[in-house]
Amino acid sequence: MADAGDRHVTNRDAPERAQLNFEQRLSYGDYLRTDVLLSAHRPITPAHDEHLFITVHHVSELWLGLIIREVQAAMALLSAGVIDTPLKLLTRVVRAQEQLTAAWEVLKTMTPADYLQFRGAFGQASGFQSAQYRMLEVLLGNRNPTLLRPFEHRPDLHEPLLAALHAPSLYDLTLRLLAARGFALPREVLERDFSQPPSEHTAVLDAWLAVYRDPERFWDLYELAEKLLDVEDHFRAWRFNHLTTVERTIGFKPGSGGTSGAGYLRRALSVVLFPELWQVRTHL
């Protein structure tokens, strides 16, 4: 056992040992690679608001990356028949969506005159070309093969998108779960061409009606349905805020990526991801 003198030496040497241990650990900047992250912030004009524009889009891409990861994890579990953990994952998705939508409020502080100072400098670059946004749409069930064309020149982006396009969506996996629980869903629902938009089906509506009319019996399915609606509700909010931001900034001018701008975004608002979950309210 060490005596008092030994303890005195140990205490005196502690700061030096702590310093050595700290030097062997990652620092905040090392762990987060903040030098790499911040080095991507490279405005190409002297316009003050270009910094805002880049920051909002960088942050949005980070949130999109997290949302995609959580959705994919939830899908993997749903395909295995697990519901509890996907509910937690989809709750996290909704919270991240709130942050994603809030970013538009910051961007709305940029006036049309501010935007025109640098808009022409980035050419045809457009949010329409965001591979992560497109991946999220595909995973949630917005199936339109033509929307993948902007990525054909990048196999590293196009191939994962194409694979997701031909695989079941989040809603498709949920419907398979309904079938596994004994609800009668036809083959054209469960084994459809996943690359195409799904068609509304009365058998799906009937299944959800049974769930919603007896939530105590089907509580986990009921919670899952409500969580899916939370996701789509927030996705609609993001799209609407995108539209209003564009209208406030450039009006109805064409988008930089060749789309019709606000007109394209208005049409996108009409896309319904989980149609029977919205319809069931009317039929209850």
Percentage of the chain exceeding pLDDT 90: 77
The amino acid that residue 182 corresponds to is: G
Q: What would the mean pLDDT of 63-86 be, rounded to a whole number?
A: 98
Residue 220 makes CB contacts below 8 A (sequence gap 6+) with: 83, 84, 87
Q: What would the mean pLDDT of 218-232 be, rounded to a whole number?
A: 98
Looking at residue 7, what is its pLDDT? Answer: 47
Q: What would the mean pLDDT of 61-67 be, rounded to a whole number?
A: 98
Domain-located, residue 112: yes
The C-alpha atoms of residue 256 and residue 55 are separated, in whole angstroms, by 18
**Containing structural domain, residue 63:** 48-283
Is 230 a residue whose pLDDT tops 60? Answer: yes
Contact 168, 259 (CB under 8 A): no
Contact 273, 141 (CB under 8 A): yes
Residue 88 makes CB contacts below 8 A (sequence gap 6+) with: none
198 or 255: whose pLDDT is higher?
198
Question: Where is average pLDDT lowest: 29-43, 151-165, 179-193, 242-256?
Answer: 242-256
Domain-located, residue 176: yes
Is 4 a residue whose pLDDT tops 50? Answer: no
The C-alpha atoms of residue 105 and residue 237 are separated, in whole angstroms, by 12
155: domain CATH number? Answer: 1.20.58.480
How confident is residue 11, by pLDDT bands cut at 50, 70 and 90?
Answer: low
Q: How many domains does the chain have?
A: 1
Domain-located, residue 173: yes
43 or 126: whose pLDDT is higher?
43
Domain-located, residue 7: no
Written as one string, the DSSP assignment of 22-62 is HHHSPPHHHHHTHHHHHHT---SS--THHHHHHHHHHHHHH
Domain-located, residue 208: yes
How confident is residue 5, by pLDDT bands cut at 50, 70 and 90?
Answer: very low
Cα distance from N-terminal residue to C-terminal residue, the chain: 76
Looking at residue 253, what is its pLDDT? Answer: 79
Winning range, highest mean pLDDT, from 93-102, 252-261, 266-275: 93-102
- Please write the tens of the pLDDT for every residue from 201-222: 999 999 999 999 999 999 999 9
Looking at residue 22, what is its pLDDT? Answer: 56
Is 17 a residue whose pLDDT tops 90? Answer: no
Q: What would the mean pLDDT of 245-252 be, rounded to a whole number?
A: 88
Domain-located, residue 155: yes
Looking at residue 262, what is its pLDDT? Answer: 84
Domain-located, residue 19: no
Domain-located, residue 106: yes
pTM above 0.85, yes or no: yes
Is 6 a residue whose pLDDT tops 70? Answer: no
Please give the mean pLDDT across all residues of the chain: 90
Is 23 a residue whose pLDDT tops 50? Answer: yes
Looking at residue 127, what is its pLDDT? Answer: 79
How confident is residue 130, by pLDDT bands cut at 50, 70 and 90?
Answer: very high
